Amino acid sequence: MSRNYHSIAFTEPVLDAQGRYGSRTAVHRTDRHLAGPRPSSIGAADGTGSAPNTEAAETDELDQIKDPLGRTERDFIAGRDGFYLATVATSGWPYVQFRGGPPGFVTVPDEHTLAWADFRGNRQYISTGNVAHDPRVSIIFMDYARRLRLKIFGVATINDVRHRGPSSSASAVPGYRAIVEREVRVEVKAFDWNCPQHITPRYTAEEVAPLLQPLRRRIDALEAENDLLRVRVASFLSDPETRLSQPQQPEESR
């Protein structure tokens, strides 16, 4: 879990829930080890017992804190062929969308940035509109086969590339047949690796293919053997001498 993740995710209602369900002690121990003081506590040690705890101050501080993606995170993201993107509408309703593409369509230009080509879909543009209202997003990358899950908090920027060349976007995917309408870049603020509990293993056709190769070879060998046996049986039955030499079936008793 990255340092800044606690500061963003663990709001006061979340801390209250952790207390009610008995996980607060363990989480607080990790919180102090990784994140240090929460934004709401910064300045409280000035002798007054209180801090200028305004929402703007917390937001400014979080804007200055960015947890860098390490090599493990960058390699993991590079291997994904899709992710779940959460945004919030002006109505306050959250919206979650799956964004997909070929493996590697999400790039990591640097340790604080994600980028991808946003392909034309059902043309509802809900996520696009929500980001224009509130650029804060949450992203979940999944590896079902290995039961891994990476969660990311970030701030998104969307650039319209419809009127540029088809490969003008730095995130364009060569050889992938899709219309790129936008380029999305996300400034990563925090991330967390989830535990594998309750993730059902699922496998893509590409992941299963190597496991099926021995079975396919065995099936091919058996089919070839069956073909040879059919030829031999047909030849045996078509030979007059073979037919005459076959034992006569006993007549059924009447």
Percentage, residues of the chain above pLDDT 90 = 59
Give the angle 131-137-143 at the CA atoms, nearest 5°: 130
Residue 24: pLDDT over 80: yes
The predicted-structure confidence for 105-133, as pLDDT tens digits, reads as follows 999 999 999 999 999 988 999 999 999 99
Per domain, the residue ranges of the chain are 1-65, 67-202, 205-234
Q: Of residues 51 and 226, which shows the higher confidence score?
A: 226
Q: Decide: pTM greater than 0.95.
A: no
Please state the rounded mean pLDDT for residues 173-183.
Answer: 86
According to CATH, the superfamily of the domain at 67-202 is: Electron Transport, Fmn-binding Protein; Chain A (2.30.110.10)
Give the C-alpha separation, 149 to 13, whole Å: 24
pLDDT reported for residue 31: 58
pLDDT reported for residue 46: 39
pLDDT reported for residue 132: 96
Closest CA to 203 of 157, 132, 149, 142: 142
pLDDT reported for residue 175: 82
Which amino acid type is present at position 21?
Y
Please state the rounded mean pLDDT for residues 179-203.
Answer: 93
The predicted-structure confidence for 34-52, as pLDDT tens digits, reads as follows 544 333 332 333 333 333 4
Query: Is 153 within 8 Å of 191 (Cβ atoms)?
Result: yes
What tokens appear for 154 in the block?
A: 């970030």
Query: Is 84 within 8 Å of 98 (Cβ atoms)?
Result: yes
Give the C-alpha separation, 87 to 137, whole Å: 5
pLDDT reported for residue 113: 97
